[in-house]
Structure 1
Amino acid sequence: MTSSKHRRGRASRRGADSSLLSSETDSIPARHLRVQSTLFQEVSRLFRGELSDPLLEGVAVTSLELTPDGRNARIGFTLPPDVAATGPVPVEKALERASGFIRAQLALGLDLKRVPHLRFIYVGEAPAWREEHEEGGEA
């Protein structure tokens, strides 16, 4: 019983010490960062060439955040300007349908103990930099 009191005291001190919390978030293990980076690269590759749903054409992955336990991944995506006018709802439904395929491809391509559940978050409209860049190049 005294050990549980000791544990509670330690936990409450840890919550009160903000410098300890910031140091915990600053010291993300290198393996976690590598897995997160590899997942981002693979998901981006799948979006560029493997997904055949016409609703997902032009959708770009902008970020991937893996939870510390590796069970969930939040994937930020942007829409091209012409698709963004209709709104993200049809694309979100298409991404929900495609998440099983994406997870299966990740399982085949990566040697992970478990493939995280994917949650897609709409970030915004992709900038139309190509058109502006082409106009700037012609002048």
Structure 2
Amino acid sequence: MLPTAVETFADSVLITPPVLDKIEQLGTLAPLHNPVNALGIRVFQLALPHASAVAVFDTAFHQTLSQTSYLYPLPWRYYEELGIRRYGFHGTSHKYVSAVCAERMGQPLAALRIVSCHLGNGSSICAIGHGKSVNTSMGFTPPGRGNDGHP
């Protein structure tokens, strides 16, 4: 699982050379994760050159955020030129939790409004409406997250 696809990948994708190149280009947005994951993918490809691999992006679940939710109150050019926006993280966790919640409640996910809390090495809160991310506490970088005790 890769933490950030930014606006490039809205879903899981088969890893091809252009996809891997893009993951490496996005390394500066997730320096603790993407470079190491890209290296792991390259090692995997060397060890099993004929095997297919799929990249699952942690930010993909949050692609449904409205412009009101993902834009910061900053000049528009910061978004256009620098890509500064709320991306959201822990998307695979929030998506899973919402599906399990619906299952345990015996309700269709599309009928529920859920607040999901991801508590781990990083923490975030996500408002989920009808199975889609509506808002999240995790923004452009981890400092935009909920307080998880990390400096």
**TM-score scaled by structure 1?**
0.28
Structure (1 or 2) with the greater helix fraction? 1
Which of these two proteins has the greater Rg computed from alpha carbons?
1
**TM-score scaled by structure 2?**
0.26
